[in-house]
Homo-oligomer: A and B are copies of this chain.
Amino acid sequence: MQTQDIDYRADAVMRGYLAFDEAHVGRRPGVLVFHEGLGLGEFAMARARMLAEFGYVALAADMFGERRQARNLQEVADLVGGLRSEPETLRGRGHAALAALAALPEVDTSRIAAIGFCFGGSVVLELARDGADLKAAVSFHGVLTTRMPAVPGRVKASLLVLTGADDPLAPPEQVAAFEAEMRAAQVRDWQLVSYGSTLHGFTNPAADGSMLRSALYSAQADRRSWASMRSLFDEVL
């Protein structure tokens, strides 16, 4: 498998991470991976490699610029809060990652999906709301609120939202509001899976409640949510 850093431009220089099987011949589907609030690190890179093993070209995007990392919760709050208060910038950076992936000669531009974790889940949903050319958009324990709700006719992606039923960052009222948003925008294809007895950050083995009390790894929800993503990709990619 080939892995390499890849720089691309948005409102700053972004340093992504690319993974693909160099033995594969011909164009193949591409998948974007959007990182958690800590920044592009080993977790998202490992997911990109897992996707490359399935035969996709995977680009783990950089949403903070120059692969900046947050060192603590305050820095996470500053970086994520800054972008969430400027949804145009956030969406611009997401689109820039999509353009960088689509520009690769290995990628079939008609078959691109995006996945994201926590903050990255929000990015994926923002891209989909903005009409990005995605076949699928998958949010793992993402925040579901937005300053720019979906409007009828705009969302092209098949949406899959995977959320912990006890995640305080995506509480029941937020889930209900998201579903209402989807209905109001007459989104063609969306699914929401609620995992009982499951907290925030359930896909990340490093989530042990020490940094963020409400984040806790669940091997079961991790396995189930990844399988649901694969099923959707088998359908639409």
Chain A residues in contact with chain B, CB under 8 A?
159, 165-166, 172, 176, 179-180, 182-183, 186-197, 220, 224, 227-228, 231
Contact = CB atoms under 8 A, between A and B. Distances in A.
B176 A196 contact: no
Mostly, the A contact residues are mixed
A176 B179 contact: no
A95 to B, nearest CB: 24
B182 A196 contact: yes
Contacts of A176: 172, 176
Contacts of A195: 191
Chain copies in complex: 2
Contacts of A191: 193-196, 224
Contacts of A224: 191, 231
Contact of A183 (B166, B188, B227): B166
A228 B225 CA distance: 11
A118 to B, nearest CB: 20
Contacts of A194: 179, 191-194
A236 to B, nearest CB: 11
Contacts of A172: 176, 179-180
